[in-house]
Amino acid sequence: MTKEAAQKNYTAKNINVLKGLEAVRKRPAMYIGDVSSRGLHHLINEVVDNSIDEALAGYNDFIGITLNKDGSVTVEDKGRGIPVDMHPEEKKSALEVVMTVLHAGGKFDKNSYKVSGGLHGVGVSVVNALSEWLKVKVYRGGKTYFQEYKCGISQSDVKEIGKVDKNKTGTVVTFMPDKTIFRVTKFKFDIVCERMRELAYLNKDITIKVTDVIEKEEETFHFKGGLNEFVQYLDETRQALHKPIYIQGERENTPVEIAFEYNDGYNENIHSYVNNINTSEGGTHLVGFKTALTRTLNNYAYKNKLLKENGLVLTGDDFREGLTGVISVKVMDPQFEGQTKTKLGNSEVKGVVETIVGEKLSEFLEENPAFGKKIIEKCLRAAEARAAARKARDLIRRKNALDSMDLPGKLADCSINDPQHCEIYIVEGDSAGGSAKQGRDRRFQAILPLRGKILNVEKAKLNKILENNEIKTIIAALGAGIGEDFNIENTRYGKIIIMTDADVDGSHIRTLLLTFFYRYLKELITSGKVYIAQPPLYKIKKGKEEIYAYDEKEREEVLKRMRGKGKKEEDTTLVTSEEDMIEENPEIMDKKILISRFKGLGEMNPEQLWNTTMNPETRTILQVNLESAAAADKVFETLMGDVVEPRREFIEKHAKYANLDI
């Protein structure tokens, strides 16, 4: 077709209008992030957000979440119940409008909700659109109302189906995720609990109960202490230096609530929220807190002669070493920006937080001089370590991001210079490193083999960390610097892929590396640059056919297919070595299936490693992301901290999800 003909044929009929919730079903990732586990669990959060809005408005004190036997989820609350009367513009029940129209709901009406949670305001209608079916019950005015939907389409008008006590109000939503949309449809109790625990800490008047009917697990979250308890929970395996300092106030219709404490560790763990949304990229509320903390503590130290006029100068980093805190603000019209739209941009909030923290913290320090002295002493020790760290950092600072003179000798770099098209594999051991170097595409894949385990950064100061050879090698190879020198723009690779063995040692090395990235190069994670390679666990061979399986479930599926339709297990023989495959009687060669278990990457030859783990066309790599920074902080501290009992409990609880070769 010529250009002119194409122009003539491009008319109004070529413009597709996606009606109702069709757009959500066509492009689900635009509304919930993705269609894997993360997006699946986001469905629950969207429904719960409505119940939290009722709590913020003062009408709800309970949320119940049930993971049902059939794979569906029920979310119930004791709020006012979604209105069921006729909507003046849509000419149908307000309940149906809320459930079927994008951007519909009380949160867009300032008279209904002063503030509301939910990042995009798309709400429960998106859940409805992405569900095979959804049923909603409303208790309101002494009556029970009901409506059912399939793929977001109502199956009938809203019906009155019974009467209840006039004091009973609330909404019950049950939905079944659509298997044709989601790659994963099984909800995980632990993932649901992470977010619900967080919400219960942030809203101390609410009780949230999570029940898993299949696994017979149940958790109830209610924290009268609110943010104080949240901070203590985050610091559960650390030694706190004092009780949490609690600050509360309101200016310009912006309520501010903050709790923080210092511990004997070296990491800064500040988690910030706006209307219950985890602002993992920070924003103006976090800047206001940091500014006020630094200024107030500095003034207090000089005023009380805890610092000498011409002595060591304390910086913001010194005041935040070993600080665990939670900041929660409620903003009427929050403006979000940043890489993942989780950074607060409202400029007025900085001044509000700064003023409240400055006033309240000054009062606290005057009334508690012993606390003040202890905090300043810790900050001074941090400043001394920072000076030592600067000397260590100077030794590994790169003159130029692409200057090969500064690159570590064991790095096999790629030939392309554009970071966007380059990736680096951080590989466990020289053996696997050798296979990876031979098997890679040297145009865009760099290989950095590590010898042994890196330092556990959870238990060390920065100056000690920078003395570790393996860490120095990683910093030099990545090129982005560390600490005060860190600049993500200088990162030499678009993808940083951790590739370790599928055994206990490999898991430990991977956790050590992730701990280092999380604590000192977190922006690499939040910008989506860090990945985990997924090497196969098994090679399954029958005759000339070879297939790789990445877990036990996939192995069983391959075995079932190789045995053939209708064949039983006894019709085939499983062997574990090539020698056992060779038989004098060729008639039974086809009945033998070889299963090889890879214990290490070094067992694979270069071609196998490329085909299974490094070829972008066929590999599986998992992107590391932070759904909840608070939950991530808790996991790293539990796994890598000093206290043994919580670590043992964590491993015992999660052992069923791990591949352990003990």
Q: Which residues are catalytic?
A: 428, 501, 503, 505
Q: How many CA atoms lie within 13 A of 48 on its CB side?
A: 27
* The residue to which tokens 């999380």 are assigned: 518
Q: 312-317: which pairs have CB atoms within 8 A and are 24 or more residues apart?
A: 312/380, 312/383, 312/384, 313/383, 314/379, 314/380, 314/383, 315/383, 315/386, 316/290, 317/268, 317/382, 317/386, 317/483, 317/484
Q: 137-141: which pairs have CB atoms within 8 A and are 24 or more residues apart?
A: 137/161, 137/171, 137/172, 138/81, 138/82, 138/84, 138/95, 138/170, 138/171, 138/172, 139/81, 139/164, 139/168, 139/169, 139/170, 139/171, 139/172, 140/80, 140/81, 140/82, 140/83, 140/84, 140/169, 141/166
* The residue to which tokens 């590396």 are assigned: 513
d(CA 79, CA 138): 10
Rg of the chain over CA atoms, in angstroms?
A: 28
Asked whether the beta carbons of 378 and 241 are under 8 A apart, the reply is yes
Structural tokens at position 378:
């810790």
Residue 634 per-residue DSSP state? H
Structural tokens at position 197:
């625990």
| Residue 636 amino acid letter | F
Residue 610 per-residue DSSP state? I
Q: What angle do CA 283, 284, 289 make, to 5 degrees?
A: 105
Helix 284-303, helix 347-367: angle, nearest 10: 30
d(CA 211, CA 219): 7
Structural tokens at position 142:
């002494």
d(CA 271, CA 329): 12
d(CA 348, CA 446): 45
- The helix or strand, by DSSP H or E, that contains position 317, with its residue range, turns out to be helix 316-320
d(CA 24, CA 40): 14
d(CA 208, CA 615): 45
